[in-house]
Amino acid sequence: MKRVYNFSAGPSMLPQAVLEKAAAEMLDYNGTGQSVMEMSHRSKAYKPIIDRTEALVRELLGVPANYKVLFLQGGASLQFAMIPLNLKKKGKAAFIDTGVWSDKAIKEAKKWLAVEVIASSKDKAYNYIPAVEKVTGDYDYVHVTSNNTIVGTAFKKFPDTGSIPLVCDASSNILSEPIDVSKFGIIYAGAQKNLAPAGVTLVIIREDLIRGKEHPDGDLSADVPTMLRYDTHANEGSMYNTPPCYSIYMMGLVLEWVKNLGGAEAIGRMNREKAAILYDYLDSSSYFRATTDKASRSIMNIPFVTTIADAEKAEAINKKFVAEAEAAGLVNLAGHRLVGGMRASIYNAMPVEGVKALVDFMKKFEKENA
């Protein structure tokens, strides 16, 4: 069996070792005679799975003891609503607008509170991260998107928000390198980039932000649905209802894989090495170029275009590139429609050999088509 190198922005490729272990355990997990897919989430067999996954999240991300780790559903998109519903007190939030996903979060938050966009990179098609050193004001929270999948930018330094909770959508770069969780009130991430198959959303939330009947600021509004309350899930260990059991199990396997590699520090070194290989080639090429500002470049998502000036010819070349790359075992390289060109998403599971194979193909394509 020949595996391709999958450069999809999500769902992304998973480590082969993880897939092989999951396959070996598909029919009989740990001698139970059943698949995790079939297992009751209330069973003695399943509880160690979710407990181990939480323990690994805490270990690998250095989650402080005063934070809850939740395994929810609905993707990061549901968090766009849960966050304002649960954090609303004064009725105002600040956002740094860095692309499509932050814009979606802004639009959703506006349904429940006043939103102030305190900085934006929309003026240059979101190809950079605006510099914001410090945020002050009467805000319930400040929201950032740490890595912008479509345009290929990432925060290198987060703003100082003082006592205002900093909320971060880290869906496309969670666990790609070390992060200081204590700087954030909430970090949330859809799992389908770096952590697991789609279906589970990781939420790391500081306990004082989980409002319930005993909270100093009082309970949430009575019209907040039960399933959209953080205390509902925190009080029940993410098992108020049936959780996405298999995706949580897969996340545990992926986290074990990361731990065996050496943890967040080691995976960060690997990711920076992979990104440097591709960026170095793009910066030296006269035929291809990266589209993002150098100071804001993501190490997870790398959009690139040709230097062909004629738009019609460039589009034809783009289609040729994607088709020939796929034939060579390099798949899902078409760029997002808002940026065009091509995009290589090189999440944790992408081996360095995959990036080297892409660069070799690009050199060959450049030689044949320039």
- Which of the following is catalytic: 68, 101, 257, 274? 101
Q: In what order do the strands lie in the sheet with 141-145?
A: 67-72, 201-206, 186-190, 166-169, 141-145, 92-97, 114-120
Distance CA 308, CA 56 (A): 47
Distance CA 84, CA 110 (A): 9
**CB neighbourhood size of 290 (10 A):** 20
Active site annotation includes 101: yes
Q: Give me the residues paired with residue 334 across strands.
A: 342
- Which of the following is catalytic: 68, 88, 193, 274? 193
- Which of the following is catalytic: 97, 140, 169, 231? 169
Residue 254 CA: distances (Å) to CA of 18, 191, 237, 244, 249: 6, 11, 21, 16, 9
Instruction: Write the DSSP symbol of residue 149.
Output: T
Instruction: Write the DSSP symbol of residue 368.
Output: H
Active site annotation includes 280: no
Distance CA 169, CA 181 (A): 13
Active site annotation includes 193: yes
Instruction: State which H helix or E strand residue 343 sits in.
Output: strand 342-345
Which residues are the active-site residues? 101, 169, 193
